[in-house]
Chain A
Amino acid sequence: MIPRPETAHWLAAAVALLLGLILLSEIVVGTRVFRRRAWRAYLFPSLALGSGAFLLLITIFSTFSTMHLVAHALWAEAAMIAGGVQLAVVRGKLSSAHWSLVTAGALLVCGAAFLVHEPNPWLFSRSAFLHHVIGWMLVAAAAFPLGQALRPRWVLWPAGFALTWIVLALLLFADRDTAPIFGRFGGAG
């Protein structure tokens, strides 16, 4: 019952890319223009919530090790909770800017799960390299929603948050477990 890891990683990467592009679109055209159609405001949080629920499907395929089961469950729930809270913020159910701290917490948890579930050093393999990069990137990216909670009007925060998703997509597209770090340029594989 194990799906090919490329399939799962590339699906996740496609979703991450879509999330990043949605956020980036809003930054490029401005929130006022982007939200002329009301439904656009719900795109990112709904997709995050839905992709979290979908990740639970991947979770139940990840019973080949306890670590992977728990890590996938954490990623799924973090996406669901952060997506749900953001959806409530967009809808007006929650009003404080401080609710973006939930997103910061979700990024921290996801990053920590990436780092903990990878026991090998950075240069052991491509997957080890990518897991370390993704883990630390997500931990660092928690600063963006944190900043948004403290200084909501500064464009650096949403821009950094959007780029995080796009870089995450690139890294996930590249995620292979025992391949050399830089693919066919690495000399093996």
Chain B
Amino acid sequence: MTRRLVVVGVLLGVALVAPGRAAAHVSLLSATPEVQSSLDAAPTQILLRFTEPVAISPSAIRVLAADGTVLSGVARAALGDLVVIAPVSGLVQGSAYTVRWRVSGQDGHSPSGVFNFGVGVPAPPPTEAVGAKPTTWKDDLARWLLFASLALVIGPLVIRLIVLRGAVPQPLERRFHLVPTFAAFAILNVGIAAFVLRASNALQLPLPDLLYGDLQPFAEKTRFGIAFLALTLGFGVVATLLVFAWVADLHRLRLPALALSVVLASGISLSSHQATLPNSSKASELADWLHLVSAAVWVGGLVALAFLVWPSAPALRARAFLGFARLAVGLVGVMVLAGAYLALVRLPALSDLWESEYGRLLLVKLAIVALALTWGALHHFVVRPRLEAGEQPRVRPSLVGETFVAIAVLLLAAVLTNASPPETTTTTTTSAQPSR
């Protein structure tokens, strides 16, 4: 009986492994015109080639002009249903067009997708496809969580590696390992959520269809997509380094993890809305990165002080506070200078501050920053001298308060990052690739 079972098991195994036709889930293999391409002459048809035979409806391919006019005819399948073709007419030079497609595969999945092409002009990014919706509060929330997670990776690592060098009590050491590790995993997940949200604004699909939405044009042809790919891989490496640093007591691994996180922060700033604007330059990109990194160290450092050092290492409180106070002077300097430069680039006229929505948001952010800086100055000029004199003032509630104000600053920064500066500094149609 046992022998029979073994024979049947082996046969089943061989049958499963024996080669049959191997193929992927249905996905778009290629398109003519190419995804996000620029053509010299208007095409007469759209041709999509898929990895599997597909079933289609007459409106499987829709080509849309900027005003929403449908320029495509009835779609038909060809070449064993691997190719879908739709005729197009009425396309003119100097315009960009959006292709929206939806097919059904043999496996029951119904993938959909969207891309643009230009005739005599560059293709706008897929996020600006006809019918795409602008970013919403969900995008702001995702970016805020991304900023906060980045702060929780960078801040505690900076405090541990620069401010509190040398041995620390074991419980504190464990917290210094675990908080950045969890935050690195948080970045992975928030990054995926932010990427899918951003793509869904352009895909405009109900949730069940979004699950099979084609995200490739967004991943490969937009700045935020490329940044998403880099962040996912990069913070995967950061998380792995941090896990090994903790488990194997290889504390030196935290240094490359910190360095990599700081470099990857540039991906977050380069994927912002402002980085795609015409007045964006290498200097503004550098300023944006410095602004983000200094803010992340400041907020993350405050969290480390208030929630890691204070509860678990009373003997190190004064040393950590005084060390961070020295560091904070430089951080605030970089943050304010970089922020002021960026404000000048994005709001060339003073009146933009109160006449544009972006300017008004910036004013609110500046008010909260002013509150945070006043709070920090209070710590610097009142608490620091007392700690230096060997006193033990009750600081933690105040530190927690400043931390929450700093987190509110990050929220405003997230909203601003997704917002558009005044029209005079933007173009709303075409921009060079890769874009948003």
Contact = CB atoms under 8 A, between A and B. Distances in A.
B251 interface: no
A186 interface: yes
Contact of B20 (A2, A68, A69, A179): A179
A41 interface: no
Contacts of A124: 107-108
A81 B196 CA distance: 23
A108 interface: no
Contacts of A70: 192, 196
B211 A65 contact: yes
Contact of A174 (B16, B214, B218): B16
Nearest to B18: A183
Q: Could you say which interface size class chain B belongs to?
A: 35 or more
Contacts of B25: 5, 64-65, 68, 177
A69 B247 contact: no
A135 B24 CA distance: 19
B18 A77 contact: no
A182 B240 contact: no
Contacts of A126: 16, 20
B185 A178 contact: no
Contact of B233 (A57, A81, A170, A189): A57
Interface in A63-87: 63-70, 73, 76-77, 80-81, 84, 87
A111 interface: no
Nearest to B199: A66
Interface string A86-108: 01100101000000000000000
Contact of B232 (A56, A68, A130): A56
B21 A178 contact: yes
Contacts of A93: 246-247
Contacts of A65: 25, 27, 109, 111, 211-215
Interface string B188-216: 11001000100100000000001111111
Nearest to B209: A66
B22 interface: yes
B215 A56 contact: no
A137 interface: no
A186 B12 CA distance: 12
Nearest to B211: A67
Contact of A80 (B106, B109, B239): B239
Q: Could you say which interface size class chain A belongs to?
A: 35 or more
Nearest to A46: B244
A176 B212 contact: no
B248 to A, nearest CB: 7
Residue of B20, B51, B107, B216 ringed by the most chain A CB atoms within 10 A = B20
A153 interface: no
B22 A1 contact: no
A173 interface: yes
A154 interface: no
A128 interface: yes
A100 to B, nearest CB: 16
A67 B215 CA distance: 10
Contact of B24 (A80, A84, A177, A183): A177
A4 interface: yes
A176 B22 contact: yes
A66 B13 CA distance: 31
Contacts of B232: 56, 59-60, 73
Nearest to B234: A56
A120 interface: yes
Contact of B192 (A69, A178, A182): A69
Residue of A91, A93, A171, A178 ringed by the most chain B CB atoms within 10 A = A178
Interface string A163-189: 000000011011011111011111011
B382 interface: no
Interface string A41-64: 000000001100100110110011
A189 B18 CA distance: 11
A177 B210 contact: no
Nearest to A179: B20
A183 B107 contact: no
A87 B109 contact: no
Contacts of A84: 181, 243, 247
Nearest to A176: B22
Interface in B1-32: 12-13, 15-25, 27-28
Nearest to B51: A2
B27 A66 contact: no
The 3 nearest A-B residue pairs measured at CB: A179-B20, A183-B18, A174-B16
13 contacts: A5-B22, A63-B218, A65-B213, A65-B214, A65-B215, A66-B212, A67-B211, A80-B240, A87-B247, A125-B106, A170-B17, A179-B22, A184-B18
Interface of B: 12-13, 15-25, 27-28, 51-52, 106-109, 111, 181, 185, 188-189, 192, 196, 199, 210-216, 218-220, 225, 228-229, 232-233, 236-237, 239-240, 243-244, 246-248
Interface of A: 1-2, 4-6, 49-50, 53, 56-57, 59-60, 63-70, 73, 76-77, 80-81, 84, 87-88, 91, 93, 119-120, 124-128, 130, 170-171, 173-174, 176-180, 182-186, 188-189
